[in-house]
Chain A
Amino acid sequence: MTDITPIRTPAESAILSRFPEVKASLPGTSAVATLREQAFGRFQETGLPHRRIEKWKYTDLRALMREAAPIAAVPTEADLAIAKALLAGLPDFGAANVTVVNGRFAPSLSDLGALPAGVSVVDLGEALGSGHPLVVERMGRAAAADDAALSLNAAFVAGGAILTVAPGTAVERPIALRFVTVGNASAVYPRALIEIGKGASVTLIETHLSADGVAHQANEVVEIFAGDATTVDHIRINAHGDAAVDVSSLGVVLGGEANLRTFNFVTNPAAARHQVFFRFAGEHSTATVSGASLLKGKRHADTTLFVDHAVENCASREMFAHVLDGQATGVFQGMILVRPEAQKTDGKMMSRAVLLSDDATMNNKPELEIYADDVACGHGATVGALDEDLLFYLRARGLPKAEAEALMLAAFVGEALESIGHDGVRETLEGLVEAWLKAR
Chain B
Amino acid sequence: MLEIRNLHVQIEDKKILNGLNLTVHKGEVAAIMGPNGSGKSTLSYVIAGKEDYEVLDGEILLDGENILEMEADARAAAGVFLAFQYPLEIPGVATMTFLKAAMNAQRKARGEEELATTDFMKRVRAGAEKLGIPQDMLKRGLNVGFSGGEKKRMEILQMALLEPRFCILDETDSGLDIDALKVVSDGVNALRSPDRAFLVITHYQRLLNYIVPDTVHVMAHGKVVKSGGKELALELEANGYADYKTLAA
Contact = CB atoms under 8 A, between A and B. Distances in A.
B102 A398 contact: yes
Contacts of B92: 410-412, 414-415
A414 B51 CA distance: 28
A410 B93 CA distance: 8
B109 A393 contact: no
Interface stretch (B80-88, B193-201, B238-246): B80-88
B124 to A, nearest CB: 14
Interface in B70-104: 71-73, 75-77, 81-82, 84, 87-88, 90-93, 97-98, 101-103
Interface residues of A, number: 22
A408 interface: yes
A410 B97 CA distance: 12
B72 A396 contact: yes
B162 interface: yes
A389 B88 contact: yes
Contacts of B72: 392, 395-396
Interface stretch (A90-98, A108-116, A312-320, A399-407): A399-407
A110 B84 CA distance: 57
B101 A407 contact: yes
A396 B101 contact: no
Interface residues of B, number: 31
A145 interface: no
A397 B88 contact: no
A41 to B, nearest CB: 49
B28 to A, nearest CB: 22
B144 to A, nearest CB: 10
Contacts of A393: 84, 87-88, 90
A409 to B, nearest CB: 10
A400 B49 CA distance: 13
A351 B198 CA distance: 45
A412 B93 CA distance: 9
B106 interface: yes
B105 interface: yes
Contact of A407 (B73, B93, B158): B93
A218 to B, nearest CB: 33
B50 interface: yes
Nearest to A389: B88
Given A392-B51, A403-B101, A397 B90 contact: no
9 contacts: A388-B51, A390-B90, A394-B102, A396-B81, A396-B84, A397-B73, A407-B98, A411-B91, A415-B91
